[in-house]
Copies of this chain bind each other. A is one copy, B any other.
């Protein structure tokens, strides 16, 4: 493949608190604001506490999940008296960091998240974005304290619902396991390292470095699995099986246990071999997701460099 050139990536937004109880991003954003981190070499940095009302309440959200509000349809919907706090906030963020899909949008949005699942550090991104893949490869080559993986969501950008879709490029950094409302130093340091490496990569890119093309592995969402539920009450009747718990990204084969019911019965995986992730994520009980299943794919990407004037 040829070397692909891009305009300089000079405006980056580091966002935390999109979910108000995911503490790594909350404290990362607060700390960067306190330290007045606004520029690193050629890179102008905007730090955003995305959902301050949810942060104050130490809840994921107050009215509705902010990180499902960034579709084109929702961002262009008229504000009325009954519009949720989070949709108002999404439109404010779109005005500040976008508008989504426009020339005025920031070059890169990096949105910081935590999960109760044992997922290590994951970059989550939409579609095929060479810049994001290069940053992913760079972070993966530098961080050794936990596995670094990529999750690709195959959703058209107009329907992409999360904050990072507002930037020209963007990804979420998802790190776990960490309980909601809890700040762990080890997880915080990993998030900080990933943010620092992202900014470092942007500086190297802007200064004229060529980054060689190559391949990366990524996980692409195939389907979601709900908990077994009581048909009358809709309450769950089983927990994630101890053999699946904490084993995100470990290949699940037909016959492997996935749930253990409260009366002691084991439910087994049926169908094809797939990779589980977001296993027992706290916020997904209400979304009726016990875990996601993914296929592993290989993504090939070209060399990239900055466009010379």
Which residues of A approach B to under 8 Å, CB–CB?
27, 30-31, 58, 116, 177-186, 188, 235-236, 239-242, 245, 260, 262-263, 280, 282-283, 285
Contact = CB atoms under 8 A, between A and B. Distances in A.
Q: Determine chain A's interface SS by DSSP, over half rule.
A: loop
Most interface-central of A185, A235, A241, A245 (chain B CB within 10 A):
A185
Q: How many copies does the complex hold?
A: 2
A233 B180 CA distance: 22
Given A242-B185, A280-B184, A179 B31 contact: no
Contacts of A285: 58, 181
Given A31-B262, A262-B27, A262-B31, A182 B235 contact: no
A180 B31 contact: no
A166 to B, nearest CB: 27
Contacts of A239: 27, 183-185, 188
Given A179-B180, A184-B280, 20 more contacts: A27-B239, A27-B262, A30-B235, A31-B262, A58-B285, A116-B179, A177-B179, A179-B179, A179-B182, A179-B282, A180-B282, A181-B282, A181-B283, A183-B236, A183-B280, A184-B239, A185-B239, A186-B242, A186-B245, A188-B262
